[in-house]
Structure 1
Amino acid sequence: MASAPPPGEQARPRSDWAVLRRLLPYLWQYRWRVAAALAFMVAAKLANVGVPLLLKELVDALTPAPGQSLLGLPPGTEPWLLVPVGLLLAYGLLRFSTSLFTELRELIFAKATEGATRAIALQVFGHLHQLSLRFHLERQTGGMTRDIERGTRGVQSLISYSLYSILPTLLEVALVLALLGVKFELWYVWTTLIALVLYVFFTVRVTEWRTQFRRHMNEMESVSQTKAIDSLLNYETVKYFNNEAFEARRYDEALQRLRRARLKSQATLSLLNAGQQLIIAVALVAMLWRATVGVAQGHMTLGDLVMINAFMIQLYIPLNFLGVLYREIKQSLTDLDKMFALLDKEREVADAPDAQPLRLDAAPDIRFEDVRFGYERDRDILHGVSFTIPAGKTVAVVGPSGAGKSTLARLLYRFYDVGRPGAGPHEPTGRITIAGQDIRHVTQDSLRRAIGIVPQDTVLFNDTIEYNILYGRPDAGHDEAVRAARAAHIHDFIARLPKGYQTLVGERGLKLSGGEKQRVAIARTLLKDPPILIFDEATSALDSANERAIQAELRQVARDKTTLVIAHRLSTVVDAHEIIVLEQGRVVERGTHAELLAAGGRYAQMWALQQNTAEQEDGHQVA
């Protein structure tokens, strides 16, 4: 059994092109929108380049030749007749066209961007639910959710910056260089090219250098986020030990490291911006000086000077953001890579290629056959455990903490497969069968649909009580939820609440007591009504009166169902058809309650100890 890599271990980053290739299939389904957006982008840039050309014509038209009046018209002509109306209208139309085509491009491509983002986010969400329990026990929720958030935002940023900024700028540079080469001498082309090469080289080198500071800043941001979320999720524990100041110090230390990382990132960004502006200023001054000399010598017009200046401003305004764009694109690629790395994490427990749905006609028998298991390679939990739960019967597993009782439920649910991480192909692992079908050869969906569990530690969704009960069967209605609540002896409590079944239970159900949460868990399992039941300390959080009432109800529910009861309190399993005593991962005794007491072994010792404890507690209560 191969174990999944720990969540903290990042696989070797892919190249930028590899990440882009991974993204392309998500955009390919919107290829016609991409083509339309590119067409609008070209139209917008053609209109944008046409603006300085018209501006030149407008300036030249308004500049009188020596010894002539404006536009060659006689003195005293009305001022409005002096204005080249056609040029002005064309200039305004080009300006408007630039904005119009840009907005049409963004409107057309928005569906592609949002669709790709939704598809990737949904795929990651679904994949995370398919990963093994080991992954989710080892993950850091705050850091992982931050990676997913950055990754989905990275899709939008990458598409936006590349399609809306980089490609249009490259196209505009090509058009401007072509016009400068055709209309003027090549000196302008070479000056522009040299400035652009220096600008890009400086930007890329400095941005690559400062990426380490940006990456460190993001890591510190994830660390601080993780600490904050972890502390808030464990709010009660913090209060129990009066550690608010301790948690604040830990969070402040993380914030201090984040502050230092952000200051370094900002300082290097300022250096980058200053260097970029110096290159732009030198190139712009050189070109305007050359154009000014040309105007003074008479082989260039004032409109040519204005056009060259307008071209350079139009080029350098987007280039001002090249460092930001390059950094953001690199960061978006890094964030996407992290999210794709989550998608690449292999499922430790996966359906076999030929897996079939679990076939059940009635309550099945369950067999644990020489089951061996360990969470880690060098530490076994179960050592050849074998027992059978007959169809429609109840078998209880008891034993001290750490004996491996709850592990049996996890294996039955296939949260893990039998065996150990890194085990050799010939190491014995045993097997678990339901109605004679090895659970490794059936689909996990059909397996888990056939099992209902009341776990020892009940965690509820931050939603209403009714939502949490209906989670057992989401297509059920309110009346069925009420019937399940009555069976779990929680309906009266819910009815007394101001909002009844619409009462919010809070984060992880913290607004309810332990017993109330457990009864909600019982209700949703009763609503699911599966042929196999697992009660893992199902009444451990209840008082004695409620425990006896619910135990009677659970016995009624378990009738004609195959039931595995995992218990610490032996009084809750005296009616089981068979009791398995588990100790250090081995079956040490088995039999009915009466048989085990008569044997005078480990079970009898545990029974005597618990009875003495119960009598002492009753004595204290009487006193």
Structure 2
Amino acid sequence: MARNKFDIDENLESPFDIRHFGRAMVYIKKQKKPMIIAFLLSALSAAIALSAPLIMQHVVDVTIPSKAVGALFGWSALMLATIVVSVYLATIRSRIMTRVGQDIIFDIRTDLFKHLQELPFKYYDDRPQGKILIRVVNYVNSVSDVLSNGIINFILEMLNLVFIAAFMFAVDVKLSFVILAGLPVFLGIMLLIKNKQRRAWQAVSNKSSNLNAYLQESISGIRVTQIFSREQHNEGIFTRLATNFRTEWMRALRYNALIPFSVDNLATIVSALLYLVGLLALSPQDITFGVILAMSSYAFRFWQPILNLSNLYNSFINAVAYLERIFETLDEPVTVSDVPDAKELPPVQGRVTFDNVTFGYDPGINVLENLNFDIKPGESIALVGPTGAGKTTVVNLISRFYNLTGGKILIDDQDISQVTLKSLRGQMGIMLQDSFIFSGTILDNIRYGRLDATEEEIIAAAKTVCADEFIQEFENGYLTEVNERGSKLSQGQRQLISFARTLLADPKILILDEATSSIDAKTERLLQQGLNELLKGRTSFIIAHRLSTVRNCDRIMYVSDKGIAESGSHDELMAKRGLYYRLYSAQKMEVV
């Protein structure tokens, strides 16, 4: 799919809906109490600060002309006290809101991570990992301040405007209308650029996502890059993506800068008009110099909240682009989930039935069509055939990693689509071809799927798969720390640890997808002895390209042409001299 590339912009599935902010209120309501306290502190701080121009007016018009030196020191002390108290209250409010912002980040990020854990394989098939990571980390950081400080500041600045307007009109009505004259011009500018500004920040979001996706891909594939000396070519790709991001960022900033530029110039023009009207148009009987100074101060204070609101508007526009991405992820449907009346799958015997199963990863393109087979409890099944025929798809469907297009799969006559995923997968041991190792100790990695396992049980599982010997050779044995993806381990060692992790779960149905592909022949022979004992009494599905490893399975199914082309034991299929015979003979000749 086109969206599964680092250089393709992800267009939103639907336009932004203001109701997203209604959804965001869920996170804000959790912090209602500290936000109310912070708001009251902010309002009190602002009210105290607004008394300063009145003090200044009284000092200029009354205290100084009367030469009351003692009163002047008293008013000066009161002015200083208003500043100190206002700053102190603002500091307490800032500390409260810092914690609120972090709590909102925690809640949103936790919900995102929980939802990502539940999304089906198909979601990850269609997206680069970097484009998912940036939503959980960068985008959440970007919206947290708007959802915490932004809400309070918006309300506070609106109240500031009301308070300042009330103080202005109380001092002088005519000059108050002069100050308000620039407001319609500012609103017109905002209306002209708002849509362009939002689109600009959406473009920044896209380019940031692309850059992050390529960076993550490059780090994951650094060994391949260096093997093929692709450093310079990759640097060119990164430079192009970084340049695209910088270009869109600068374009968005130009829109952002236009708003404070407009406010500053309008404030300057209004102040000039204020002095012009106050000093030239009105007579001294109508207005005093103290009134002009007070109104000049209020003019600055009036446009300061407007500038703050414009900056909040910029932050709001930025947050819209990021909030859209966050809620788009949270709205991604969990298509593989428990049905409303799903029941627990009881302990299984291991019978597996495919009943007319049809499946395709993309609409209209089927990988399997009308597939039917029935596996008895304890039977070992080998799935062989050409690459891409659907072998891994079969075992993925048994585990219900994808929903069927048609038909149904039964385990002990129970439709797996009607049972809970936890009860289904909890009775399966699945070892995929990619042996993923998590950062931590070897002990933790083996115990990953069964947290209550004892150390003795872990060691026993490792011995069964011939992993104990090389683990004991490490200085710290099972407590040896390994890196993410097990970079300090060989591929064979990673595979054996994954094997031990799978077997420790003591599954009733065992799925091995190329489980021994990276293990040397000697270790494989030793491992096979343990596996033969382990497979007794369990239903097992084994995918292997080396046919010598599956010839002893109870049944071998050759997957081809969207179904099972041949099925039987090794001897039966060899006697038929069909597809399996030709594949086995070709491999035998290659070995020779």
Q: Do both proteins adopt the same fold according to a TM-score greater than 0.5, normalized to the shorter chain?
A: yes
Q: Give the Cα–Cα distance (whole angstroms) in 1 for the partners of residues 75 and 293 of structure 2.
A: 15
Please, which of 340, 354, 367 is the counterpart of residue 368 of structure 1? Answer: 354
Please, which of 401, 404, 407 is the counterpart of residue 415 of structure 1? Answer: 401
Q: Is this contact kept in 1: 2:205–2:322, CA < 8 A?
A: no
Give matches, 1:467-546, under 5 Å.
467-546=444-523
* Amino acid paired to 2:268: A
Please, which of 328, 349, 357 is the counterpart of residue 341 of structure 1? Answer: 328
Q: Is this contact kept in 2: 1:132–1:349, CA < 8 A?
A: yes
- The match for 2:14 is 12
Matched, 1:262 2:263: no
Give matches, 1:176-191, under 5 Å.
176-184=164-172, 186-191=173-178
For structure 1, which runs of at least 5 residues remain unmatched after alignment?
A: 72-80, 420-428, 617-623
* Amino acid paired to 1:397: L
The structural deviation recorded for 1:324 is 2.9
Q: Give the Cα–Cα distance (whole angstroms) in 1 for the partners of residues 246 and 101 of structure 2.
A: 33
* Amino acid paired to 2:214: K
- The match for 1:74 is none
Q: Is this contact kept in 2: 1:213–1:261, CA < 8 A?
A: yes
CA spacing shift, 1:481–1:288, aligned 2, 3 Å: farther
Q: Give the Cα–Cα distance (whole angstroms) in 1 for the partners of residues 90 and 122 of structure 2.
A: 49
CA spacing shift, 1:9–1:269, aligned 2, 3 Å: closer
- The match for 1:323 is 310
Q: Is this contact kept in 2: 1:207–1:272, CA < 8 A?
A: no
The DSSP-based 3-state class of the residue aligned with 1:397 is: strand
Q: Give the Cα–Cα distance (whole angstroms) in 1 for the partners of residues 432 and 339 of structure 2.
A: 27
The structural deviation recorded for 1:300 is 4.1
- The match for 1:464 is 441
Worse-superposed segment, 125-134 or 404-413: 125-134
Matched, 1:387 2:373: yes
Q: Is this contact kept in 2: 1:453–1:533, CA < 8 A?
A: yes
Cα deviation code 1:427-454 (max 9, x no counterpart): xx22111111100001112211111111
The structural deviation recorded for 1:259 is 2.8
- The match for 1:99 is 87
* Amino acid paired to 2:222: Y
Q: Give the Cα–Cα distance (whole angstroms) in 1 for the partners of residues 437 and 531 of structure 2.
A: 21
Q: Is this contact kept in 2: 1:469–1:524, CA < 8 A?
A: yes
Give matches, 1:72-471, under 5 Å.
82=70, 84-184=72-172, 186-292=173-279, 297=284, 299-360=286-347, 362-419=348-405, 429-471=406-448
The structural deviation recorded for 1:174 is 0.7
CA spacing shift, 1:56–1:294, aligned 2, 3 Å: farther
Q: Give the Cα–Cα distance (whole angstroms) in 2 for the partners of residues 467 and 197 of structure 1.
A: 65
The structural deviation recorded for 1:538 is 0.7
Q: Give the Cα–Cα distance (whole angstroms) in 2 for the partners of residues 89 and 294 of structure 1.
A: 35
Q: Give the Cα–Cα distance (whole angstroms) in 1 for the partners of residues 252 and 307 of structure 2.
A: 18
- The match for 1:610 is 587
Q: Give the TM-score taking structure 1 as reference length.
A: 0.87
The DSSP-based 3-state class of the residue aligned with 2:354 is: strand
Matched, 1:45 2:46: yes
The DSSP-based 3-state class of the residue aligned with 2:339 is: coil
The structural deviation recorded for 1:294 is 9.1
Cα deviation code 1:172-196 (max 9, x no counterpart): 1111111221221x22221222223
Worse-superposed segment, 392-401 or 459-468: 459-468
Cα deviation code 1:166-218 (max 9, x no counterpart): 2222111111111221221x222212222233234324533543443333233
Q: Is this contact kept in 1: 2:201–2:252, CA < 8 A?
A: yes
For structure 2, which runs of at least 5 residues remain unmatched after alignment?
A: none
Q: Give the Cα–Cα distance (whole angstroms) in 2 for the partners of residues 365 and 477 of structure 1.
A: 30
Cα RMSD (Å) of the superposition? 2.7
The DSSP-based 3-state class of the residue aligned with 1:589 is: strand
* Amino acid paired to 1:50: S
Q: Is this contact kept in 1: 2:428–2:511, CA < 8 A?
A: yes
Question: How many residues are paired up?
Answer: 587
Q: Is this contact kept in 2: 1:452–1:529, CA < 8 A?
A: yes
Q: Give the TM-score taking structure 2 as reference length.
A: 0.91
Please, which of 549, 553, 558 is the counterpart of residue 535 of structure 2? Answer: 558
The share of aligned pairs that are identical, in percent, is 26
CA spacing shift, 1:557–1:61, aligned 2, 3 Å: farther
Q: Give the Cα–Cα distance (whole angstroms) in 2 for the partners of residues 515 and 539 of structure 1.
A: 8
Q: Give the Cα–Cα distance (whole angstroms) in 2 for the partners of residues 50 and 152 of structure 1.
A: 39
The structural deviation recorded for 1:504 is 4.3
Q: Give the Cα–Cα distance (whole angstroms) in 1 for the partners of residues 158 and 551 of structure 2.
A: 80
CA spacing shift, 1:27–1:271, aligned 2, 3 Å: closer
Q: Is this contact kept in 2: 1:369–1:385, CA < 8 A?
A: yes
CA spacing shift, 1:108–1:272, aligned 2, 3 Å: closer
Worse-superposed segment, 261-270 or 277-286: 261-270
